[in-house]
Every structure is written in structure tokens, then in C-alpha cells.
Copies of this chain bind each other. A is one copy, B any other.
């Protein structure tokens, strides 16, 4: 999408528009999941379904934070929730397809981390 000066407008599209046209996907992705906790939780769910307190323990997030992060991830379609209303309620979280498709990102991060973090 070249920003062709199509109409007589003659107006350079300016920063914002250029940015949007320019770098949408990565920046979009970063803004969608570019928060520490979201990434950590998503990565943690690659192992498969987990329940709330499991996630809490393995990620180290507080109930409060975890709850909100999961909430966000769910409404954004990254994870889905399955509840078992048995005796003591049990709710399980897992990646949706959209969330699972982030795996390559985590693989890349993992590989990078292996090279540079130890």
C-alpha cells in the first residue's frame, strides 16, 4: 500500500497514517500482547490446559493480576475458559487457535533467550 498522493489533496499523510500503513502488523501484535504478564501467561499455557491456581503458582502472578490478565486474554480471544461447577469450582484455561498461533513467537523468544541469557 503505497501512500499514493492519489487525490489533489496534496497532503502528506503525516506521521500517524504513515505509521499505521508502515508497520501495522508487528506494532499491532506488540500492542495486542506486548505486556509482560500476557506473554508470560500465554507462554505458560502452551503446555496445555491449566487451572487458575496452577497458573498462579507457575507464573507468580497474584490472583488479582492473573484474573485480570486472563480476563483480557479471554475477551481478546487468546484463551478460553472451561468451568467445572462441581464441588469446589474448577476452571481451566487453554489457548485458542489465535493464542496457539503465537507459539512461533515464543519459540523464537526461547531460542533467543537460550543464546543470550545464560
Which residues of A are in contact with B by a Cβ distance under 8 Å? 15-16, 18-19, 22-32, 34-36, 39-40, 43-44, 57-60, 98, 101-102, 104-118
Q: Lowest 4 A-B CB distances belong to which pairs?
A: A25-B113, A29-B113, A104-B108, A105-B108
Tell whether, in the assembled complex, residue B23 and residue A43 are in contact, meaning their CB atoms are under 8 Å apart: yes
With A22-B58, A36-B34, A44-B23: A101-B112 Cβ-Cβ less than 8 Å: yes
Tell whether, in the assembled complex, residue B26 and residue A43 are in contact, meaning their CB atoms are under 8 Å apart: yes
Q: List 21 A-B contacts (CB under 8 A).
A: A15-B60, A16-B60, A23-B40, A24-B118, A25-B109, A25-B113, A25-B117, A26-B43, A26-B113, A27-B43, A28-B117, A29-B110, A30-B36, A32-B117, A34-B34, A34-B35, A101-B116, A102-B108, A105-B105, A105-B112, A108-B108
